[in-house]
Amino acid sequence: MRYFPAFHDLSNRPSLVVGGDEPAARKLRLLLKAGARPLVVAPAVCAEIAALAEAGRLTWQARPFAPADIAGCGLVIAATGLAEVDAAVSEAAQGAGVPVNVVDRPELSSFITPAIIDRDPVVIGISSGADAPILARQIRARLEALLPAHLGRLARFAGAFRGAVAAQIGDGTQRRRFWERFFAGPVADKVLAGDESGAREAMIGLINGRAARQREDGSVAIVGAGPGDPDLLTFKALRRLQEADVVLYDKLVGPEIVDYARRDALRVYVGKAKANHALSQDEINALMAEHALAGRRVVRLKGGDPFIFGRGGEELDYLQRRGIAVEVVPGVTAAAGCAAAAGIPLTLRGTALAVTFITGHARDGEPDLDWASLATGRQTLAVYMGLSTAGTVAARLMAHGLAAGTPVAVIENGTRAEQRVVTARLDGLESRLGEAGLAGPALIIIGEVARHALEADVAAELERAAAALPRAVAV
């Protein structure tokens, strides 16, 4: 995040706009809406600015800019379009420690103005960091269509009752939940529909009702975060994150997903890697229960799907035995997400009639699996947590009859920007992984569905080798 998002209080404060054409007029409209007292410095101005000056809504001084104009201003905007003048305004403002924006010159600006959705007092700013202002405007247009026209009316109504709610509900968590229920409930609907008198009467009953002061029980949501790409997070998972008081997250959950949580939620890293656990499973279970029994909403955030090699079933059982309300929110599991991102189907008509998820990790090293049934062919094997035991898995499958030439694809950091796909034959899997030096989380796909990927890699390797040969010289 290059720019820190903030809202300036310019009410009745002087602000300087240097320039008098349409770009300056656009900025002035915003300043006037914010209650500022603008000073415009420009030898000449457009008709709109002249009319505003005549009406007494701003002060216009018909002259060139002088550095002394900056004194006492809350912020400065340069909109002359003249490179030398705009640069001089920027230098003077930044030298005086006054925020400055130079229109269409982010390199000269200490702040930028976002695309704005105005439902006063609700204001939403959307910024692309000055890289793509058209994109920011398109996002604004989409959000405008989603937001009620009278959203500001609802915010003002809630503001009028803030003191009364605070007086009745002393606990901060209970107060926040009261407001969550309010904004999602029928009283808010009445306000948005224009029935403020009915809403006021209902609100008084809501504040004075017993339910307003009754502490809610805590709960746990065991949430699958998917294989890594934040766009694969489900809507329900996103809602639970934004409602959570506490988020316990795993090693495979990226920071961009954790950042979807409420900003004031407690975030606790509980990641586990092979022989390296931040907390044991028993400690994680106890921590979830402790927070839930204290009345908090807990999200247990796991990579992939919590019920596929995620120990979600153990956590569910632990919490239910203690009478804690628990919900499971499924996620896109690694096999489905990574295979799709790599363009490898898990099933294929006439080739792979089934897919089996297996783990390459076991408490004592080698996984205890029914190798004979896994080696029958005409199915796809998706191996989770199998990098360290890939050679053993390959050897056991070949010993039980799976062909040595069976294609394999290993997908590291699947669905993420740094995704990498390495292919091999089954009999060369261990040595190929050693050459590739994979270190990130990886899914291994074994079966004929990976043949196209393997052949494409072989063809690319042959092409690279041919390109490296010396070219024949005709004589």
The predicted pLDDT at position 246 comes to 96
459 confidence band (pLDDT: 50, 70, 90): confident
| Dihedral sign, Cα of residue 196, residue 200, residue 206, residue 212 | positive
**Hey, which residues are catalytic here?**
250, 272
Query: Do 15 and 39 contact (CB within 8 A), yes or no?
Result: yes
210 confidence band (pLDDT: 50, 70, 90): confident
279 confidence band (pLDDT: 50, 70, 90): confident
364 confidence band (pLDDT: 50, 70, 90): low
Q: Tell me the per-residue pLDDT of 79-96, one tens digit each, with 9 for 90 and over.
A: 999 999 999 999 999 999
- CA 314 to chain CA mean position, Å: 28
Report how far residue 106's alpha carbon sits from residue 130's, in angstroms, rounded to the nearest whole number: 6
Query: 142 vs 65, 134, 135, 146, CA distance in Å?
Result: 39, 13, 11, 7
Query: Do 300 and 271 contact (CB within 8 A), yes or no?
Result: no
What letter would DSSP give residue 12? Answer: T
> Number of C-alpha atoms within 13 angstroms, CB side, residue 448?
15
Residue 475 pLDDT > 50: no
Residue 222 pLDDT > 50: yes
* 106 vs 465: which has the higher pLDDT: 106
Residue 275 pLDDT > 60: no
Tell me which residue of 113, 77, 111 sits closest to 92, measured CA to CA: 77
The predicted pLDDT at position 442 comes to 94
297-301, 361-365, 412-416, range with the lowest pLDDT: 361-365
Q: What is the mean pLDDT of the chain?
A: 91
2-6, 271-275, 288-292, 349-353, range with the lowest pLDDT: 271-275
Tell me which residue of 335, 353, 333, 357 sits closest to 344, measured CA to CA: 335
Section 274-290 average pLDDT: 85
Supply φ then ψ for residue 403, to 5 degrees.
Answer: -60, 140
Residue 461 pLDDT > 80: no
SS3 128: coil
Residue 171 pLDDT > 90: no
Which residues are CB-contacts of 313 (< 8 A; sequence separation ≥ 6)? 307
